[in-house]
Structure 1
Amino acid sequence: MNGLIEELRAALFTVWSRKWIALGVAWAICLVGWLAVAAIPNSYESKARIFVQLDDPLAEQIGIGVGDRRRDMDRVRQTLTSAINLEKVVRGTALGDGIASPKQMEAAVLALGKAVKVVSQQDNLFEITALSSDGSRSDAESARLSHDVVQKMIDIFHEENLAGGRGEMTDTLEFMNQQLTARQKQLEEAEQRRLVFEAKYPELSEGGAGLLQRMEAARMQLRGIDADIAAAQSSLAAINGQLAGTPASMPGVAAGGARGALAQASADLSAMRARGLTDSHPDVIAMKAQVAQLRGAAAAEGPGSGVPNPAYASLQSIRAEKQASLQALQARRAAAQADLARVDAQQSANPAVAAEAQRISRDYDVLKQQYDKLLQDREALRLRGQVETERSAVKFQVIDPPTTPRSPAAPNRPLLLFAVLVVGLGGGVAGAFGLGQLRKTFQTSARLEQALGLPVLGAISLVRTEATRRIEARRLKYFMAGSAALGAVFLLLLGIEFVQRQMVA
């Protein structure tokens, strides 16, 4: 611990013995540093925050959703700092003073692009920041310029979303009207060509496409009639099968024996078949065997009296109805085949005319579809433009208006001045200490003993006379005055800085 204290005392003695060198180095460093700090122009920053309202139920109902609005806002935010908009800012503020050539304007736009920022803090909140650091202007002018730049950016932001958007909508509607007029003229010409063609060829009044549709419809109708005929034939065959197994008469009240049993068995067999049982069903097989036995027994009994069978009469009426339906279907099939043959003959008679009819009809249909689509889109755009104009779906509100800054955002001149003072004092002390290390002197007897490796028997102290003391006291006063002057210059620079800030405010 004692050695550390001795080393510290030796270092302090080295610096103190060369205090004038330390003071000179400190003055030199401080003067150069303060001049450099003074040469740095003040930068004044102006900020503004804008709230954008995107919600509008009516706008969403007609298709102007929040997602569309947000995409529009992102587009405006990105294009707000474009070269065109920045050139508007330059021309609308004091930045445009003295610009006489495109090269100067390009340089001003590039510098402004680095000084302006548009940041999206939240979904609906934007912050616009402008930094002005022109050394050729006074602090008050720079502060006012930053305010003007932010205000001009807000104006452009508003124009891009309202006036610009409405102008784009007007241009779009005008373009749509021009397209509709052109399509309407083409549609009228196509309709006139179709009327002339139909007057010349009445049999092809529906056009080639109509012939193809009629042929396809006839083929489909013919296929449907064939399916209905097949179903009618199957139903008629089933009725004939039932009639074959149903007796025409039934025994009367007095009748009995094998003939009555045969009638009853035949009725049961018909009932089974009416329920859908096939001939391979065991009950049907058994009943058929029973009917065969009873038919032989009834033949052995001889003829007997009976009454007409109602089931047989009903099946006959059903068969007559099925036969009539089948004949009607066959007549329809013949008519459909004749119609198909006639249409085919019309198309085959003059294929060039049919192709021309098809082309005219196709051109007319395409133009009609395009016209209807353009008309629908034009009306949708018109409604959308009215909503945006009258309802003002995008609403702006300036939360924090741009204010003229009262103090520079950069540099922090008081801190820099103090840092230069600290560096100057540290540089002076380091310079004096370094110079002492270069000279081969020993400040204490212990250091001499340590360097030589020999014991030191004694030390001779410095004897100062009264005249020497007066000279040293006067020199100390000069040193203190020089040190105080350095601090006074520092305080003077601080005072000048705060006075300038008050002048800007």
Structure 2
Amino acid sequence: MLGHRQLRPNEYWQLLKRRGWIVLIPALVLPFVGFAISYLVPPQYVSQTTVLIDQQKVPDDYVKPVVTADLDNRLATMKEQILSRSRLQPIVERLNLYPGQSMENRIDNARTNISIKLIHSEIARSGGLPGFTIAFKAGDARTAQIVCGEITSLFINANTLDREQSTQGTTDFLKGQLDDAKRNLDEQDARLAEFQKKYVGKLPGEESPNLNMLTSLNTQLEAATQQLARMQQDKTYAESMLAQQTRDVVPSEAPGYVQSPQQIEMAQLQSQETELSTRYTADYPDLIAVRRKIGELRAKMAASPTSPTHTAATPSVRESVGVQQLRAQVRAATQGIEAKRQEQAQIQNAVRMYQDRIQSSPLVEAQFKQITRDYQTAQQFYDDLLTKVNHSKMAADLEKRQQGEQFKLLDEPTLPDSPSTPKRPLFAGAGLVLGLLIGFATAALLEFRDQSINTEADIWETMNLPTLATISWVGDKVPDSIEKKGLKGLFQRSPKDAIAPSEARG
């Protein structure tokens, strides 16, 4: 009896001996059934190939690769591209895969039967990805091999094309950026040159030369001023000597000669002008007034000329050699003074110019720093882009020469000599497991429905009465009530039938 009380281990063994044939029969039959069913399943052949990821031949220190994306992500992207409808449909149509189905289902079945597995490095701490495997499952071994080869070629070509396009696209982009950077650099260069031309002499670093030049100009100005003063003194002395000799000549060489009042006034004004010019500059008010009077007096004398008064006939006056030399000295002194004044004015202008340079240097320096900073930034950006363009060109050339990272076919797609499915031992094993489950389940069900009493524990569980004694079966013949029931009696005996033999023996 099962389900009415908790059984002991030895009772489980007794149960197995009573119901063992129920477990044994399906456990023996179903493996053969499963093995036979395996012949009804269509065979499937798997062709597999290995693709090795061959790293770049030239060290990265010499030519840096342009494509630096993670290989797992690149493979995932290529897988989505290759498994797309546009790539798989030509293969399905050319090899007539999965006939009798719609094109969408045929492509879905092709996707399902394609398997791509990554091969990670087994070397500790390497973390590399040496390659990956591609497998295809089909109902024909030759078809599986051909499709596996087609998919592998798609991966190899896709990797080569993707790397070439990436390097070329990077190169073209960098060239465009380099052209823009060059235009910007030319603009900054022209701006810097214009600034330097505009503020020549005021640029940073020229303060010390400007100060030295200013000191030198001040020294020259002081020396020119002193020379001008000496030249004016010499001119005054020569004019006084000339006037003295002229006065001495008139009485002796021109008897009866009398000067007019305008000439006397002119001589006095010229004497004042000489005295003032030796003491003051040309901008002095008194000197300007005297020169204005001289000009006005000369205009009057020119407008109304008067002849000098003679007491007798006026003889022609002839100047001596000394007077002529003095007049030549006066003229030379006048020209020298005029030249020196021009030189003094030039030095003064130069002094003002250098003073302006020194005063405006801080402001010019601030503007120059900003322009120089912009120029240096543009130059550095241009140099960086130029370096990147050169690296990109080398990387593109490396890809064209098949020297970059490549997918290398390590093994040709295999031609399977036996189907991968169905696995007949697996079907037989599944039949065995299923037979054992069915057998144990049937035995448990029969035991649960059995009401017969087999042990003293069953008597106590059923009748709640103690067992006084047990007598072994010694008869040669089973009672007719049990024999007539046969196997059915084993399932339908009541507790009273179970103790009937004991009553008969009593």
**TM-score, scaled to structure 1:** 0.46
More helix by share: 1
Name the structure, 1 or 2, with higher relative contact order (CA <8 Å, separation 6+). 2
**TM-score, scaled to structure 2:** 0.46
